[in-house]
């Protein structure tokens, strides 16, 4: 198949899923065309089946807001016509689904039909999408898509709850490339971070409000009162500065390292003992799956789709959003005993295998064929 992929080319979960999916499809012999405003992170190598088309938005003094959606729609028309794409797969509804709809209408005037699959990732539904500013367009463009997928049952339910949707939504969970995300021998990292064999706790995110990153700091404060430990905060975003200040206020700065955005996150996960994700809302929790694939148990909130990933008492624990005490207690319980920690590590890894790329890729391929045949 010749597939066009539209996504945010950033470190965000939807961009990571789109890029990894595109790479895997290309490895499987499909021709994959990424159409976005920047070369996606993790797509910095040559592959015969991978193509990148940049959307450039020309500015004009009249525009306070350059019209990206129009530039994207025009680019989609151009790429579909000249590359003869069989299907467009857009990740994150806003504004990709409506740009694809517009492109589809324009292509019809050339007698070209291209089916569109929209994948809902999370905040495009739970936060931004249901805002009245965007809701009518999001509803319309989901209903106009030829295929719609969501990354968890919970996100599917939320979509039906908050929008007037007449389409079937197929759940295809996030996946993990186990050959990349696996335990790496990085003992020298461990010695540098935890010279006295302290436990290493990790959080990775984009430090947005929805991630409740300050909860991570409060949980860690309680853990390190009981267990010698270090905290690694990976990623960057608006709340990082508040987290740094909080560490100073709680006088724990010497045990916390802010590492910023990291390409090889699997190497840092490989030396970690526990991952913390206290999110307010999380449609799936790809970062937690990445941790589990590196044999790291997870303490998460029970928000959104997290119960579809984290198995209480096996891969880690889930607690109510904001319940810092319970999250700290469960962390201490896992970390206190070497044998118990080893058991949770095995549990996390075993569960991660259930989301192996090799299992999920054929589901996407079959769904594409179904949509192409039915449209
Ligand atoms: O909010 C983020 O972390 C980024 C966001 C995105 O759409 O880029 O991630 C969402 O999509 C991921 C991939 O499908 C999911 O694993 C995340 O759970 C989801 N984030 C939220 O729902 C907050």
CATH number of 2-175+356-374: 3.40.50.2000
Distance CA 295, CA 346 (A): 6
Atom of ligand 1 nearest to the CA of 122: 22
- CA–centroid distance, 192 to ligand 1, in Å, is 31
Which CATH architecture describes the domain 187-353? 3-Layer(aba) Sandwich (3.40)
What single-letter DSSP state applies at residue 260? E
137 contacts: CB under 8 Å, gap ≥ 6: 94, 95, 98
- pLDDT class of 139 with cuts at 50, 70, 90: very high
Buried b (16+ CB within 10 A) or exposed e, 331-341: bbebbeeeeeb
Distance CA 86, CA 80 (A): 8
Residue 231, pLDDT > 90, answer yes
Atom of ligand 1 nearest to the CA of 174: 14
Q: Tell me the chain's radius of gyration from C-alpha atoms.
A: 21
Atom of ligand 1 nearest to the CA of 281: 23
DSSP assignments along 164-177, one per residue: ---S-EEE----B-
0.90 exceeded by pTM: yes
Mean per-residue pLDDT, 322-350: 98
Whether the domain at 2-175+356-374 and the domain at 187-353 fall into the same CATH topology? yes
Q: Which of 34-38, 116-120, 189-193, 335-339 has the lowest mean pLDDT?
A: 189-193
Distance CA 13, CA 278 (A): 16
- pLDDT class of 10 with cuts at 50, 70, 90: confident
ipTM: 0.95
Q: Which of 1-5, 71-75, 189-193, 248-252 has the lowest mean pLDDT?
A: 189-193
Do the Cβ atoms of 88 and 114 come closer than 8 Å?
yes
The backbone region for 235, taken as left when phi is positive above 0, alpha when psi lies in -120 to 50, beta otherwise, is: left
- CA–centroid distance, 161 to ligand 1, in Å, is 19
Residue among 7, 12, 129, 281 whose CB has most ligand 1 atoms within 8 A, to mutate = 12
Report residues whose beta carbon is within 6 angstroms of any ligand 1 atom.
12-15, 17, 92, 121-123, 151, 174, 206, 210, 281-286
Where along the chain do its domains lie? 2-175+356-374, 187-353
- CA–centroid distance, 226 to ligand 1, in Å, is 32
Residue that the structure tokens 């044999």 belong to? 295
- CA–centroid distance, 122 to ligand 1, in Å, is 5
* Predicted local confidence at residue 60, as pLDDT: 87
What single-letter DSSP state applies at residue 356? B
- CA–centroid distance, 291 to ligand 1, in Å, is 15
């Amino acid at each position: 198949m010749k597939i066009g992929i539209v996504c945010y080319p950033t470190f965000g979960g939807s961009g990571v899923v789109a890029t990894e999916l595109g790479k895997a499809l290309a490895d499987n012999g499909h021709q994959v065309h990424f159409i976005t405003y920047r070369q996606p992170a993790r797509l910095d190598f040559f592959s015969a089946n991978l193509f990148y088309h940049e959307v450039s938005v020309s500015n004009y003094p009249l525009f306070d807001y350059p019209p990206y959606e129009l530039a994207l729609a025009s680019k989609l028309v151009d790429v579909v016509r000249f590359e003869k794409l069989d299907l467009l797969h857009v990740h994150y509804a806003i504004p990709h689904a409506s740009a694809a709809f517009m492109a589809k209408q324009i292509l019809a005037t050339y007698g070209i039909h291209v089916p569109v699959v929209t994948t809902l990732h999370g905040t495009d539904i739970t936060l931004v999408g249901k805002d009245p500013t965007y809701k009518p367009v999001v509803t319309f463009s989901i209903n106009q898509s030829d295929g719609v997928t969501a990354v968890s049952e919970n996100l599917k339910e939320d979509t039906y709850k908050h929008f007037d949707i007449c389409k079937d939504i197929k759940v295809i969970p996030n996946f993990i490339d186990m050959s990349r995300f696996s335990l790496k021998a990085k003992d020298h990292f461990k010695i540098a971070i935890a010279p006295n064999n302290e436990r290493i706790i990790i959080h990775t995110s984009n430090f947005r409000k929805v991630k409740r990153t300050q909860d991570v700091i409060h949980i860690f404060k309680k853990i390190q009162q009981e267990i010698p430990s270090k905290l690694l905060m990976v990623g960057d975003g608006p709340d990082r500065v508040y987290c740094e200040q909080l560490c100073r206020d709680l006088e724990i700065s010497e045990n916390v390292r802010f590492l910023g955005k990291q390409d090889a996150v699997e190497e840092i996960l490989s030396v970690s003992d526990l991952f913390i994700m206290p999110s307010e809302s999380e449609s799936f929790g790809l970062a937690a799956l990445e941790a589990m694939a590196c044999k790291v148990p997870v303490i998460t909130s029970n928000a959104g789709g997290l119960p579809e990933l984290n198995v209480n008492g096996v891969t880690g624990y889930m607690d109510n959003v904001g319940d810092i005490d319970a999250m700290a207690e469960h962390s201490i319980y896992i970390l206190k005993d070497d044998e118990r920690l080893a058991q949770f590590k095995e549990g996390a890894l075993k569960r991660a295998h259930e989301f192996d790329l090799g299992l999920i890729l054929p589901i996407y391929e079959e769904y594409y064929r179904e949509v192409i045949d039915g449209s």
